[in-house]
């Protein structure tokens, strides 16, 4: 056996386990769900082929469309807002020397915290007075009590806030790494040229952070599209309420499958959801990679 | 174009003093090279002139204006960085135009100046390229172009050739010199490479530990180094430095180089004005440039000769650089290009006593 062959063999031995794992645990069930999407199945009786019935039902299902809209709201608000906040924090933190490590750790800790524990703490924050922290603060400041999780208009942003907060640490660390990677001579050259702060930010910092931004936009978009645990833990009975006003698609899929035992309908939604994820990711990569 | 003057310039970082009070006057249109080993304060000095580092104490004057606290952009300087600092996402044109856009010049003026500079540097066909599509030498020219368009009074170069390979370095060096002849702007240039310093400078400033050791033309610092440090820093191969006791023969000072067992010591008489310099010294360090130490076959017997055995012989083409072990020292000398002795071979070393440099125990030059 040549040395190249030996090395290749060794590599494949190491790769075999994860490849096997992915095929059996990930790809096979995923492919199977394509079949289930065209059947009716309640887990007990054998699946029955129903053609496009599940997809037809989806089109006429108002809850599906609410969940669909909510998912896009999570994405459309969550991604830009979290990136903007993370960039602002990273940009300023990069210029701070005092207690730099400590501040960075404070931002990163939520990322390490259990999502369930965090969701429940925030759920408590949102309670009416005299229990909830936020309402107590509002009242102390002379402002009206807010319903937060009990309101159909405020529930979604109230659930989104901890989700953004939890992801911030990770995004900040990546932004800081990106900022650090920009050679200081670029800024010095700009200083000698007399470029203002805004010109430097717009023409040097942001363009040079592009790879970081592309990565974070894609990762955080996928994250917000898949939002589930915060909603599940913060709303009554994990239902994404009130009146489905904070219910994302993943939660609706979960309900269809494991509360209503409609496996076919859940699988059909999963396929639609998968196509959305794929499309969003591809569009973003295409948009951000050009130039 | 402008004069530049540093008066007792100091830079401190906390307790450490990077620049310890230097004085330097640069004439209008002069090409000054700051050279020294790393950590000698040359880059810090340049960065203070640029305004990228604040001045701890002393006065910095450009033209007739004290600029200690003036913003870099208002100092009328331009700087070429070691890594060129070209913005990778901008075309050559936009890189060169950046400073003028920052200064909010009108578009037609920007265009005219950029094209003019590009023409001068042979960059016109490359204007739409990105930096990563250029060779190292071309990038270096773009960074010079970016400096030129601003029409500064003083050009600052921070080790601009150290990212280039040896062959290109020679080429770009010539281009920089030609550029200086063409535009005649005052240039302050920092390098750790003494060959660059010698070839480019009108005057060289040799720095060490935050102080200036010597300021002089390339030939001055080469032929009359004021300190032992300058003598060993300037010139390749490095000058031979030999500690020798001073003796007296008939009232005249002389140098006595002790020999190993079995050979006779070499006595070098010192006469004339140079003798005075040795007065009062029990011993001196003698400097002898390898180019002044001729290596001959052992058969060639002459006066003032040392005998030794070859340690290593390195052919350079026109000459052969030969390290010889003699009198317990390793001396580097030059032989004829066709003379290639083997290791261990006996050879004769000869030199003109007039070419010797004397340095006192404090490292300062003795005599003229």
User: How many whole angstroms separate alpha carbon B32 and alpha carbon B187?
Assistant: 6
Query: Is the CB of B72 inside 8 Å of chain A's CB atoms?
Result: yes
Contact yes or no for A188 and B73 at CB 8 A: no
Tell me how far apart the alpha carbons of residues B291 and B314 are, in angstroms, rounded to a whole number.
Answer: 14
Q: How many CA atoms lie within 13 A of A152 on its CB side?
A: 5
**A133-163 tens-digit pLDDT:** 898 899 888 888 888 888 888 999 999 999 9
Q: Is B263 on the interface with A (CB under 8 A)?
A: no
- Reduced to 3 states (helix: H, G, I; strand: E, B; else coil), residue B158 is strand
- Contact (CB<8Å) B81/A194: no
Cβ contact A183–B83 (<8 Å): yes
* Contact status, residue A178 vs residue A94, Cβ threshold 8 Å: no
CA B284 to chain centre: 26
SS3 A63: helix
Would you give the DSSP letter of residue B224?
S
Domain assignment of residue A107, yes or no: yes
Contacts of A190 in chain B (CB under 8 A): 98, 102
Looking at residue A235, which CATH number applies to its domain? 1.10.3720.10
Q: Does A102 touch chain B (CB under 8 A)?
A: no
Per DSSP, helices labelled H in B166-262 are 166-183, 194-200, 218-223, 228-233
Share of chain A above pLDDT 90, in %: 41
Within-domain flag for A271: yes
Reported as half-sphere exposure (CB side, CA atoms, 13 A), residue A51 has a value of 3
Name the 3-class secondary structure at B50: helix
Chain A residues with CB under 8 Å of B72 CB are 191-192, 194
Asked if the C-beta of A290 comes within 8 angstroms of chain B's C-beta atoms, the answer is no
First to last CA, chain B: 35
CB B99 within 8 A of CB B149: yes
Question: To the nearest whole number, what is the mean pLDDT of chain A?
Answer: 89
The pLDDT value given to residue A67 = 92
Q: Please say whether the beta carbons of B58 and B9 come within 8 A.
A: yes
A-contacting residues in B 101-130 (Cβ below 8 Å): 101-103
CA distance A17 to A87: 39
- Look at residue B262 in the predicted model and tell me its pLDDT: 59
Residues in chain B with CB shorter than 8 Å from the CB of A210 are 89
pLDDT by 10s per residue, chain B, length 368: 578 999 999 999 988 999 999 999 999 999 999 999 988 999 999 999 999 999 999 999 998 899 999 999 899 899 999 888 999 999 999 999 999 999 889 999 999 999 999 998 889 999 999 999 998 889 989 999 999 898 899 999 999 888 888 888 888 899 899 889 988 899 999 999 989 999 999 999 999 999 999 999 999 999 999 999 999 999 989 999 998 888 888 777 888 877 665 567 778 888 777 888 888 888 899 999 999 999 999 887 666 678 889 999 999 999 999 999 988 889 999 999 999 999 999 999 988 888 899 999 889 998 86
Chain B, nearest residue to A196 by Cα: B102
Residues of chain A with C-beta less than 8 angstroms from the C-beta of B87: 186, 203-204, 207-208
pLDDT tens digits, one per residue of A180-204: 999 999 999 999 988 888 999 999 9
pLDDT value, residue B1 = 56
Contact A185 B82 (CB under 8 A): yes
Contact B208, B344 (CB under 8 A): no
- Residue A183 near chain B (CB below 8 Å): yes
Nearest CA in chain A to B97: A193
Contact check, Cβ <8 Å, A189/B85:
yes
| Residue B294 confidence (pLDDT) | 93
The answer to whether B73 contacts chain A (CB < 8 Å) is yes
Using a CB–CB cutoff of 8 Å, tell me whether A186 touches chain B.
yes
Inter-chain CB proximity B85 and A208 less than 8 Å: no
Q: Do A183 and B102 touch (CB under 8 A)?
A: no
Within a domain: residue A269?
Answer: yes
Domains in chain B with CATH codes: 4-226 (3.40.50.300), 240-359 (2.40.50.140)
Is residue A4 assigned to a domain?
Answer: no
Domain with A171 in it: 61-289
Check if the beta carbon of residue B78 is closer than 8 Å to that of residue B85.
Answer: no
Whether chain A has a CB inside 8 Å of the CB on B51: the answer is: yes
pLDDT of residue A290: 61
- CA of B78 vs chain A CAs: smallest distance (Å): 7
Beta B31-35 vs B16-26: how paired, if at all? unpaired
CB pairs under 8 A between A and B: 61
Sorted by sequence, the CB contacts under 8 Å of residue B260 that are 6+ apart come out as B327, B328
Res B299: pLDDT: 81
> Cα separation of B144 and A95, whole Å?
30
**CA distances (Å), origin B153, targets A137, A143, B150:** 60, 61, 9
Q: Where are the alpha helices (DSSP H) in chain A?
A: 3-21, 28-36, 53-60, 62-93, 100-112, 115-125, 133-140, 155-180, 184-193, 197-200, 206-208, 210-225, 229-234, 249-258, 263-289
A210 falls within a domain: yes
Shortest CA distance to A251 belongs to which of A164, A260, A278?
A260
Question: Is the pLDDT score of A109 beyond 60?
Answer: yes
Q: Report the candidate in B249, B343, B235, B325 with the shortest Cα–Cα distance to residue B287.
A: B235
Checking B101-110 for CB contacts under 8 A at 24+ apart, the result is: B101/A199, B102/A190, B102/A193, B102/A194, B102/A195, B102/A196, B102/A199, B102/B73, B103/A193, B103/A194, B103/B73, B103/B150
pLDDT of residue A161: 93
Output b/e per residue, A11-29; b: 16+ Cβ within 10 A: eeeeeeeeeeeeeeeeeee
Establish if A146 belongs to a structural domain.
yes
B77 inside 8 A of chain A by CB: yes
Task: Determine contact, residues A248/A70, Cβ cutoff 8 Å.
Answer: yes
Nearest CB neighbour to B87, from listed A191, A194, A204: A204
B150 touches chain A (CB under 8 A): yes
Given CB atoms, is B98 within the 8 Å cutoff of chain A? Answer: yes
Domain count, chain A: 1
Question: Looking at residue B285, what is its pLDDT?
Answer: 92
Using CB atoms, pick whichever of B79, B89, B103 lies closest to residue A208.
B89
With an 8 Å Cβ cutoff, are A194 and B102 in contact? yes
Q: What is the CA radius of gyration of chain B?
A: 25
Q: How far is B170 from chain A (nearest CA, A)?
A: 24
> Would the pLDDT of A72 be above 60?
yes
Measured between alpha carbons, how far is B257 from A191 in angstroms, rounded to an integer?
58
pLDDT of residue B263: 64
CB contact under 8 A, B72 and A192: yes
Distance from C-alpha of B128 to C-alpha of B113, rounded to nearest angstrom: 16
Q: Please report whether residue A181 resides in a domain.
A: yes
Contact B85 A195 (CB under 8 A): no
Cβ distance of B83 and A188 shorter than 8 Å: no
Question: How far apart are the C-alpha atoms of A225 and B96, rounded to whole Å?
Answer: 43
**Does A251 have pLDDT greater than 60?**
yes
Q: Does A196 touch chain B (CB under 8 A)?
A: yes
Q: Is B48 helix (H, G, I), strand (E, B) or coil?
A: helix
The answer to whether position A193 is within a domain reads: yes
Which residues from chain B sit within 8 angstroms of residue A193, using beta carbons? 73, 98-99, 102-103, 150
Other CB atoms within a 10 A radius of the CB of residue A68 amount to 20
């Amino acid at each position: 056996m040549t040395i190249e062959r030996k090395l290749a063999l060794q590599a494949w031995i190491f790769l075999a386990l994860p490849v096997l794992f992915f095929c059996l645990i990930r790809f096979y069930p995923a492919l199977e769900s394509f079949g289930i999407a065209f059947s009716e199945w309640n887990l007990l009786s054998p699946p029955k082929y129903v053609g496009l019935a599940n997809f037809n039902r989806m089109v006429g299902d108002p809850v599906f469309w609410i969940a669909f809209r909510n998912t896009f709201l999570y994405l459309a608000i969550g991604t830009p807002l979290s990136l903007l906040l993370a960039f602002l924090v990273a940009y300023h933190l990069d210029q701070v020397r005092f207690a730099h490590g400590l501040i960075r750790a404070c931002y990163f800790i939520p990322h390490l915290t259990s999502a369930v524990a965090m969701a429940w703490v925030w759920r408590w924050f949102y309670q009416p007075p005299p229990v909830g922290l936020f309402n107590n603060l509002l009242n102390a400041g002379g402002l009206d009590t807010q319903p937060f999780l009990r309101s159909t208009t405020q529930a979604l942003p109230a659930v989104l806030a901890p989700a953004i907060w939890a992801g911030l640490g990770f995004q900040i660390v990546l932004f800081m790494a990106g900022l650090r990677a920009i050679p200081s001579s670029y800024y010095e050259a700009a200083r000698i040229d007399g470029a203002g702060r805004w010109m430097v930010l717009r023409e040097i910092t942001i363009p040079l952070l592009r790879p970081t931004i592309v990565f974070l936009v894609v990762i955080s978009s996928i994250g917000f599209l898949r939002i589930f645990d915060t909603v599940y833990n913060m709303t009554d009975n994990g239902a994404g309420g009130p009146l489905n006003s904070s219910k994302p698609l993943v939660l609706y899929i979960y309900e269809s499958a494991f509360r209503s035992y409609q496996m076919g309908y859940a699988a059909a939604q999963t396929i639609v959801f998968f196509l959305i994820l794929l499309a969003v990711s591809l569009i973003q990569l295409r948009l951000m990679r050009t130039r | 174009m402008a004069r530049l003057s540093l008066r007792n310039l100091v830079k401190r970082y906390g307790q450490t003093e990077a620049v310890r009070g230097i004085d330097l006057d640069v004439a209008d249109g002069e090409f000054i090279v700051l050279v020294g080993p790393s950590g000698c304060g040359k880059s810090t000095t340049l960065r203070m002139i640029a305004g990228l580092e604040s001045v701890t104490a002393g006065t910095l004057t450009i033209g007739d204006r004290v600029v200690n606290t003036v913003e870099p952009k208002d100092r009328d300087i331009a700087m070429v960085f070691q890594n060129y600092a070209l913005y990778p996402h901008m075309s050559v044109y936009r890189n060169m135009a950046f400073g003028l856009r920052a200064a909010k010049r009108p578009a037609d003026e920007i265009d005219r100046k950029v094209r003019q500079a590009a023409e001068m540097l042979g960059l016109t066909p490359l204007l739409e390229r990105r930096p990563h599509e250029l060779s190292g030498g071309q990038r270096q020219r773009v960074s010079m172009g970016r400096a030129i368009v601003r029409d500064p009074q003083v050009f600052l170069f921070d080790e601009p050739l150290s990212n280039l390979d040896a062959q290109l370095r020679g080429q770009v060096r010539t281009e920089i010199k030609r550029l200086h002849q063409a535009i005649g702007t005052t240039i302050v240039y920092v390098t750790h490479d003494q060959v660059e310093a010698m070839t480019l400078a009108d005057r060289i400033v040799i720095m060490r530990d935050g102080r200036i050791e010597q300021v002089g033309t390339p030939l001055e610092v080469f032929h009359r180094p004021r300190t032992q440090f300058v003598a060993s820093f300037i010139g390749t191969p490095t000058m031979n430095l030999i500690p020798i006791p001073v003796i007296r023969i008939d009232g005249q000072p002389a140098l006595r180089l002790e020999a190993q067992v079995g050979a006779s010591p070499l006595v070098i008489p010192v006469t004339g004005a140079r003798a005075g310099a040795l007065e009062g010294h029990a011993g001196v360090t003698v400097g002898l440039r390898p180019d002044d130490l001729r290596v001959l076959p052992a058969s060639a017997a002459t006066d003032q000769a040392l005998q030794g055995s070859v340690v290593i012989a390195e052919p350079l083409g026109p000459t052969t650089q030969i390290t010889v072990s003699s009198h317990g020292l390793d001396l580097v000398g030059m032989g004829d290009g066709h003379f290639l002795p083997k290791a261990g071979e006996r050879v004769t070393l000869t030199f003109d006593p007039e070419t010797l440099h004397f340095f006192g125990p404090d490292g300062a030059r003795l005599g003229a």
